[in-house]
Amino acid sequence: MNFESNEEQQAILEAIDRLLEQHAGPARAIELNRQGQYDDTLHQLLDESGFTTIASDLATENGPAGLEAALIVEAVARAGGVVACAAQMLVAPAVREASIAGPIALCTLDDLAKPVPLRFGAHAKTLMVLGIGDVHVIPLTTGELEPVRSSFGYPMGRLTEANRFFDLSAAGDCLGPEAAQTMANWWRLSLAVEAVGTMDAALTHTVEYLKQRRQFGRAIGSFQAIQHRLSLCAIGIEASRWLVREAAYHGAQNEAVAAAAAFTLETADQVFTETHQMSGAIGFTCEFDLHVWSMRLLALRQELGGVGGARRALVEARWGRTP
């Protein structure tokens, strides 16, 4: 057991933070979101700097280096990066050894059937579809998915009407049940990883604001009614962070992932609610950075059954099948 970074992890964290400081951040996220754009530059930089393939590059006999990849995804989320690195770095290498072209959008069969807006859908080069007992890895050309305007902080895309009923079995690789369970676990974990970085940034932003903002002749952050709630958010985020890292380290096993996601996605709702409530009206404006992170938290809670799905998966993993 060791909760401190080793030298290699420290070097990775410092390098990713340097890159993100230059090429990401809330101002860039706001600009890209305004135009519904994907951050191709950041995506390319992550590729060229070797971050994207870190899970397989640092793989050991125990499998891909999930923890190191998770640390990077957490950092990118903290910086509000508009890139699909969670799917690329955590989900794809666990599901298939051969590389999968990014950006990657993740969805379930049900998501496609409805169809719902998918994060990064309009910009994805590959669609990974979690079926019932299988995974479809579908290369996209252009135009299968169209942009959808969304309030929730990510560029979104949805299958067009013309592509609504396309034949999955004829479109790309189909992987078996093992891949399906692996994809479900890593996808669920990647949501929690992103949520940790995102919550962290939302709370930090709020705490800094509440140290400065004065009402009733004192900093808002000095009121005990505020402090206790911020403390509870901090507890939730720290516990989420370590649950998620531990689960990534152990290769995203069912029970650990479900516990980490159940706790983290519940905390995400708390952090959304509290950071907005405490930031007041300015928190709803585009000029105030909070929305870059806060709105994303709600989007992350909507995939793969959200909190309820994670809790159900946790009960099944620990105590056996539920109806």
Partner 1 sequence: MEFDWSPEDTQHRRDVQAFLEQELPENWDEMSQHGPGGDSQAEFSRIFCGRMAEKGWLTQHWPGEYGGRDCEPWRHSIVGEEMWAIGEPRGSQYMNVNWIGPAIMNYGSDQQKVLHLPKISAGQVLWCQGFSEPEAGSDLAALRTRAEKVGDEYIINGSKIWTSYCNHADYIFLLVRTDPESSRNRGISVLLVPMDSAGIEVREIPSVVGERYFHEVFFTDVKVPTDVLLGEENNGWNVVNYALQFERIGAARYARAAVTLDKLAEVAKERGMLDDPIVVDRLGEARALCEAARVLVYKVIDIRAKDRSPTADTQLARVLSTNCDNAIGRLALEIFGPESREYASFADTNFRLAMTAGVAVGATEVQLNLIASRFLELPKE
CB 79 within 8 A of CB 20: yes
Q: Which is nearer to partner 1, 35 or 215 (CB)?
A: 215
Three-class DSSP category at 166: coil
213-252: which residues touch partner 1 (CB under 8 A)? 218-219, 221-222, 224, 226-228, 230-232, 234-236, 238-240, 242-243, 245-246, 249-250
Three-class DSSP category at 145: strand
Q: What is the pattern of x (binds partner 1, CB under 8 A) and - over residues 258-287?
A: xxx-xx--x---------------------
Residue type at 185 in one-letter notation: N
Return the residue of 1, 98, 132, 170 that touches partner 1, per CB under 8 A: 1
Examine residue 139 and say whether the peptide bond preceding it is cis (omega within 30 degrees of 0). no
Q: Which is nearer to partner 1, 35 or 320 (CB)?
A: 320
The answer to whether residue 253 forms part of the interface with partner 1 (CB under 8 A) is no
Three-class DSSP category at 214: strand
**32 Rama class: left (phi>0) / alpha (psi -120 to 50) / beta:** alpha
Q: Which is nearer to partner 1, 125 or 213 (CB)?
A: 213
Nearest to 6 by CA among 44, 83, 58: 58
Q: Which is nearer to partner 1, 164 or 228 (CB)?
A: 228
Q: How far is the CB of 27 from partner 1 (least distance, A)?
A: 25
Cα–Cα distance between 130 and 109 in angstroms, integer?
6
Cα–Cα distance between 304 and 302 in angstroms, integer?
7
Q: Per the structure block, which two tokens stand in for 88?
A: 């690329």
The answer to whether residue 48 forms part of the interface with partner 1 (CB under 8 A) is no
Binding site for partner 1 (CB under 8 A): 1-6, 9, 67, 207, 210-211, 218-219, 221-222, 224, 226-228, 230-232, 234-236, 238-240, 242-243, 245-246, 249-250, 256, 258-260, 262-263, 266, 308, 310-315, 318-320, 322-323
